């Protein structure tokens, strides 16, 4: 089946190997690879052949960020790895290797054609993200489990499957089982599936398939609920109020409070906790709703900002295009007066043209300077508005955290009173039957119980402090990062790129006359 080492010397995917492979493809006209500072620009490569090279490990492939086709068949590869950055890959051939497990494909969401033919694979698995998979070849492996066939039902776009050469394919019911359980495929082992055999197969496995469909529907519903829950949590996180929609914060205060848990066993504590929790959760829910509303306000401000920025850039581009078009018309008329074939461009016309180029550059630079000023003002206004929103969010949340601390103080005072009263009754022998064994050591004297109450109070306050600090730190970092990125991209990088474009245009137009 798979290739054996024998006398083969294992190779690694070295830079020399990659360079030779790219050069070979370029010579064949399969890639347009642009030199970059006397080096190959691997990001420009869209297909790569590394077959028949005795490769043992898949390495250094991260350089090919725009690769769509990768051929690594007929090597001695044992593990699928190093493909995480090849997110544009649509075609992958790893046939005739020594691979034992399907793995490392999670990020290849654009993959449509996958060949793992002639390896040592026993299970078809770990391919859930390959939603676009259309052709899958896993023949000549060691698949012997019908669950591997059922696994392929999840790929709605799958049309061609090759399974021949596996132990499962030698079973008497292989063909009927496969075409019945994979209704989406048109070709099995590269042969067109006729409708008549498929109908017979569906009748044969009707009960099993119906049960399978029911299970799949239930699983899909669970997955949908899980996805919805994740999306909802992400929304809450972006609003900086995650885990504040119910009683999570209140519960968290008691999570690591072992002494406090014992205090809650004193008579009357149940009623007190229920009363405090109701008020606590009401305040937190107010914070939660406010956080979501503030996120909507911030999102609208961000959307409006980008609309304004893009409109300004589009208008600037339009005006620049008009200026360039007018210059091209002027150039055509200017050169029309010259006998270019006989005499070339006269010195007077060349001087006039050079002055016109200078004027063109000045006009384009003036437009760019105007845009820079406009964007700077827009960004400053946006930064100020967003800063005010964050300040409003912070002030409101700080006030509510203050209310939570007041409630915690009331709870602590109340639990102390309950505990002191319980100690006095315990000393009189009135509560022997009401005290669990784990609480008796706390009620030796008042000092012990007061220390326990103080420790519990400190833990609760610490939880509130941590949540407040985390919230304010995250929204502050979010604001800083967003504003810094906008300054970097829209002021510095965009301006630098535009100046380079203008300079190249002028150089191109100047070289144009020099070639005449």
Q: Is the pLDDT of residue 433 over 70?
A: no
- Per residue in 150-192, pLDDT (tens digit) is 999 999 999 999 999 999 999 999 999 999 999 999 999 999 9
- Is the pTM above the cut of 0.75? no
Q: What are phi and psi of 126, to 5 degrees?
A: 55, 40
Does 440 have pLDDT greater than 80?
A: no
Per the DSSP assignment, residues forming a β-bridge with 339 are: none
pLDDT tens, position by position, 94-113: 999 999 999 999 999 999 99
Q: Can you tell me the distance from the alpha carbon of 57 to that of 12, in angstroms, rounded to the nearest whole number?
A: 6
CA neighbor of 54 nearest in space, from 72, 32, 76, 38? 76
- The domain limits of the chain are 11-218, 248-300+381-509
Tens-place pLDDT, residues 286-316? 999 999 999 999 999 999 999 999 999 999 9
Q: What is the pLDDT of residues 47-102, one digit of tens each?
A: 999 999 999 999 889 989 999 999 999 999 999 999 999 999 999 999 999 999 99
Per the structure block, which two tokens stand in for 293?
A: 């509303």
Asked if pLDDT for residue 270 goes beyond 80, the answer is yes
Fold classified for 11-218: 3.80.10
Whether the predicted pLDDT of 1 surpasses 50: no
Look at residue 259 in the predicted model and tell me its pLDDT. Answer: 82
Q: What is the pLDDT of residue 37?
A: 43
Q: What is the pLDDT averaged over residues 328-356?
A: 75
What is the per-residue pLDDT across 360-406, written as a single tens digit (0 to 9) for each? Answer: 999 999 999 999 999 999 999 999 999 999 999 999 999 999 999 99
Place of tokens 């000393």: 427
Looking at residue 247, the DSSP 8-state letter turns out to be S
Report the candidate in 362, 379, 365 with the shortest Cα–Cα distance to residue 312: 379
pLDDT of 31 strictly over 60 = no
Alpha-carbon span 327 to 325, nearest angstrom: 5
pLDDT of residue 34: 45
- CB-count burial class (<10 Å; 0-12, 13-18, 19+) for 27: exposed
Give the pLDDT of residue 313: 95
Q: For residues 456 and 263, is the Cβ–Cβ distance under 8 A?
A: yes
């Amino acid at each position: 089946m798979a290739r054996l080492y024998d006398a083969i010397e294992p190779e690694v995917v070295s830079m020399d190997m990659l360079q030779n492979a790219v050069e070979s493809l370029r010579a064949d006209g399969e890639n347009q690879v642009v030199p970059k500072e006397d080096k190959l620009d691997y990001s420009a490569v869209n297909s790569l052949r590394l077959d028949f090279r005795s490769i043992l490990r898949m390495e250094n492939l991260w350089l090919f960020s725009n690769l769509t086709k990768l051929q690594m068949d007929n090597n001695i590869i044992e593990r699928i790895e190093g493909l995480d950055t090849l997110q544009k890959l649509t075609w992958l051939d790893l046939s005739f290797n020594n691979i034992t497990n399907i793995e490392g494909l999670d990020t290849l969401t654009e993959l449509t054609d996958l060949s793992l033919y002639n390896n040592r694979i026993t299970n078809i698995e770990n391919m859930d993200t390959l939603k676009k998979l259309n052709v899958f070849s896993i023949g000549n492996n060691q698949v012997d489990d019908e669950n591997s066939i059922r696994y392929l039902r999840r790929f709605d776009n799958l049309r061609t499957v090759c399974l021949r050469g596996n132990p499962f394919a030698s079973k008497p019911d292989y063909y009927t089982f496969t075409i019945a359980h994979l209704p989406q495929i048109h070709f099995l082992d590269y042969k067109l599936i006729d409708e008549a055999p498929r109908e017979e197969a569906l009748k044969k496995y009707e009960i099993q398939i119906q049960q399978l469909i029911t299970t799949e529907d239930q699983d899909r519903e669970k997955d949908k609920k899980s996805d919805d829950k994740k999306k909802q949590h992400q929304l809450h996180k972006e609003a900086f109020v995650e885990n504040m929609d119910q009683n999570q914060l209140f519960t968290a205060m008691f999570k690591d409070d072992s002494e406090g848990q014992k205090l809650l066993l004193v008579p009357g504590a149940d009623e007190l906790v229920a009363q405090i929790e109701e008020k606590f959760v009401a305040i937190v829910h107010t914070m939660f709703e406010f956080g979501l509303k503030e996120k909507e306000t911030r999102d609208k401000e961000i959307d409006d900002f980008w609309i304004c920025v893009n409109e300004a850039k589009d208008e600037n581009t339009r005006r620049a295009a008009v200026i360039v078009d007018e210059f091209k018309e002027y150039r055509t008329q200017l050169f029309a007066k010259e006998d270019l074939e006989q005499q070339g461009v006269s010195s007077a016309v060349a001087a006039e043209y050079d002055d016109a180029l200078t004027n063109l550059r000045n006009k384009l630079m003036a437009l760019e300077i105007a845009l820079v000023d406009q964007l700077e003002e827009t960004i400053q206004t946006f930064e100020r508005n967003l800063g005010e929103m964050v300040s409003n969010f912070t002030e409101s949340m700080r006030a509510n955290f203050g209310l939570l601390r007041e409630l915690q103080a009331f709870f602590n005072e109340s639990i102390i009173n309950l505990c002191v009263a319980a100690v006095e009754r315990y000393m009189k022998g009135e509560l022997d039957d009401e005290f669990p064994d784990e609480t008796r050591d706390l009620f030796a004297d008042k000092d012990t119980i007061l220390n326990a109450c103080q420790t519990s109070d400190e833990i609760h306050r610490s939880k509130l402090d941590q949540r407040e600090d985390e919230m304010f730190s995250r929204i502050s970092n979010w604001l800083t990062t967003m504003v810094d990125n906008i300054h970097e991209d829209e002021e510095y990088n965009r301006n630098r790129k535009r100046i380079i474009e203008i300079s190249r245009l002028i150089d191109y137009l100047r070289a144009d006359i020099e070639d005449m």
